[in-house]
Amino acid sequence: MLYLSTRGDPARKHFCEILLEGLAPDGGLYLPERYPQVDAATLAKWRTLPYADLAFEILSLYIDDIPAEDLRAICRKTYTEEVFGTRAIVPLRKLHDGLLLEGLSNGPTLAFKDMAMQLLGNLFEYELARRGEELNILGATSGDTGSAAEYAMRGKKGVRVFMTSPEGRMSPFQQAQMFSLQDANIHNIAIAGVFDDCQDIVKAVSNDLDFKRRWRIGTVNSINWARLVAQVVYYFAGYFQAHSDKVSFTVPSGNFGNICAGHVARMMGLPIDQLVLATNENDVLDEFFRTGVYRVRAAADTHETSSPSMDISKASNFERFVFDLLGRDGARVKSLFGEELQRSGRFDLGAEPAFREVKARYGFASGKSTHADRIATIRSVSERSGTVIDTHTADGVKVAREHVRPGIPMIVLETALPIKFAQSIVEALGREPERPAKFNGIEALPRRVTVMPADAEAVKAFIVRHCA
Ligand SMILES: *Cc1c(COP(=O)(O)O)cnc(C)c1O
């Protein structure tokens, strides 16, 4: 399988070449040349596989430059009951009225990002050892991504993580999760500033090409294809557990990474009826799926909400779907996401024939949810099914209810556990959410974090000091 860029560059690459890269050199995102097709006989064969072996079957359709035995070993090392808490890895349970909940949040950091990041850690370690190289991952986080990256990379050979976060702005639980890590290759940098300052620092360091090359700076952001393809697996696993000919999924969405994996699964032939995208008050994507207008928000128009991992101003993975929607016309995508967004901050596909296919051919639907909706949904799901869901998952359930069709199970992806967002649970239910035993007392553990000013040069000096 070869990979191409969504912006039309004629170059083609193998999986391991794009594994450690971010954007394609032309600024586009990588996608496979075609989607491998899965027929009914293959689905029947895969139905009973353990999760790790299902992951191997799917990944091996996309990866032809890692020997099969090695890839299988990587999958089996990644998706274990020990790391993900259950034998099913992504257990499915009934909520109410045709709604099902697929648990993607039982990994080390209690959010669905572990599903892909844990695999990425093992793939990075494998590929870096094979090349005899090292990588310094520099990132900015306001919560879930940073901790998922750190728990995936801790103790891995050849990899160091330098994770910036805005000082004092993450939830106490999230701070404790990250700062209590004592691994020598994990470095927490608390920046005296806001999340945008952290992102600016990462950009400034990455734009210093000499520094980037010399110190082998890399990232693990959500546009990485390896993360996306790892997420395809749980759509299959959810489908198999629902025991129905067809299912629909509702996905609490921010950067369009999670639901883009659903789109890939559907393009492979998995019988998915609807792919329902749920946003919070930051409704960039709901607006697109309703109207065809994609309008990037300014920082000042980006709301801080109680489902913070969906607080986005633009959706970094969305370009992948638009590329498919427009018949894989790289020149067109280049002009839309390059010049047009830069000039006017928006584009409009509403009047194009292709836009009608968003629903009819690609199965997409969408909706949005607000803080009041989240609180009411957490309360009603708890009352009707005895299950406590987190705020992001609540956005999903709220929108899923508006799209359920008789006879077709609607699977809502659970993207985090409630303990990560305890304040809203208390607001909804008047009590603290349950805390998994392994997190008892983490707030009291010794912390490993360096506070620094919002200054890219200072961060560079820190990296150099810790690479010796
Ligand atoms: C990252 C995240 C999301 C959004 O996922 P995308 O892939 O960016 O659409 C939703 N919920 C939680 C809890 C997350 O951490």
d(Cα 81, Cα 251) in Å, to the nearest integer? 24
pLDDT value, residue 175: 92
pLDDT at 171 over 90: no
d(Cα 388, Cα 385) in Å, to the nearest integer? 9
Residue 214 CA, ligand 1 centroid: distance in Å: 32
* C-alpha pair distances (Å), 21 with each of 48, 137, 309, 410: 34, 11, 24, 35
pLDDT value, residue 221: 81
Ligand 1 neighbour 418 (Cβ under 6 A)? no
pLDDT at 143 over 80: no
Place of tokens 């489908």: 239
What residue owns the CA closest to ligand 1's atom 8? 255
Nearest atom in ligand 1 to 113's CA: 15
d(Cα 58, Cα 320) in Å, to the nearest integer? 19
pLDDT value, residue 344: 96
pLDDT at 196 over 90: no
Q: What is the pLDDT of residues 305-359, one digit of tens each?
A: 999 999 988 898 999 999 999 999 999 999 999 999 999 999 999 999 999 999 9
User: Identity (one letter) of the amino acid at 159?
Assistant: V
Place of tokens 């790790």: 52
Ligand 1 neighbour 253 (Cβ under 6 A)? yes
151 with 114: CB under 8 angstroms?
yes
Which residues are CB-contacts of 468 (< 8 A; sequence separation ≥ 6)?
A: none
pLDDT at 144 over 90: no
Handedness of CA 186, 203, 262, 301 (dihedral sign): positive
291 with 285: CB under 8 angstroms?
no
Ligand 1 neighbour 105 (Cβ under 6 A)? no
Residue 440 structure tokens: 């008892």
Nearest atom in ligand 1 to 416's CA: 13
Residue 185 CA, ligand 1 centroid: distance in Å: 26
Which candidate in 113, 314, 398, 420 is catalytic? 113
Nearest atom in ligand 1 to 253's CA: 9
Among residues 122, 351, 391, the alpha carbon closest in space to that of 230 is found at: 122
Residue from 415, 417, 425 to probe ligand 1 pocket by mutation (most atoms less than 8 Å from CB): 415
Handedness of CA 316, 118, 262, 364 (dihedral sign): negative
Average pLDDT over residues 296-311: 90
Among residues 225, 218, 362, the alpha carbon closest in space to that of 288 is found at: 362
Average pLDDT over residues 131-159: 93
pLDDT band at 23; cut points 50, 70, 90: confident
Q: Using the 8-state DSSP alphabet, how is residue 256 labeled?
A: S
More confident residue, 414 or 168: 414
Ligand 1 neighbour 111 (Cβ under 6 A)? yes
Q: For all residues of the chain together, what is the average pLDDT?
A: 95
Residue from 102, 112, 321, 421 to probe ligand 1 pocket by mutation (most atoms less than 8 Å from CB): 112
Ligand 1 neighbour 141 (Cβ under 6 A)? no
Among residues 168, 153, 451, 196, the alpha carbon closest in space to that of 302 is found at: 196
d(Cα 424, Cα 429) in Å, to the nearest integer? 8
Q: What is the CA radius of gyration of the chain?
A: 21
Ligand 1 neighbour 223 (Cβ under 6 A)? no
Residue 114 CA, ligand 1 centroid: distance in Å: 11
Residue 397 CA, ligand 1 centroid: distance in Å: 15
Neighbours of 349 (CB within 10 A): 18
Average pLDDT over residues 212-220: 91
Q: What is the pLDDT of residues 428-465, one digit of tens each?
A: 999 999 998 888 999 999 999 999 999 999 999 999 99
pLDDT value, residue 126: 98
Residue 457 CA, ligand 1 centroid: distance in Å: 31
pLDDT at 290 over 80: yes
Pairing type for strands 450-453 and 346-348 reads unpaired
Q: Residue ranges of the domains in the chain?
A: 92-109+226-429
Ligand 1 neighbour 159 (Cβ under 6 A)? no
d(Cα 434, Cα 178) in Å, to the nearest integer? 20
* C-alpha pair distances (Å), 138 with each of 171, 396, 435: 21, 31, 30
Residue 258 CA, ligand 1 centroid: distance in Å: 7
314 counts as catalytic = no
pLDDT band at 53; cut points 50, 70, 90: very high
CATH 3.40.50.1100 for the 92-109+226-429 domain, yes or no: yes
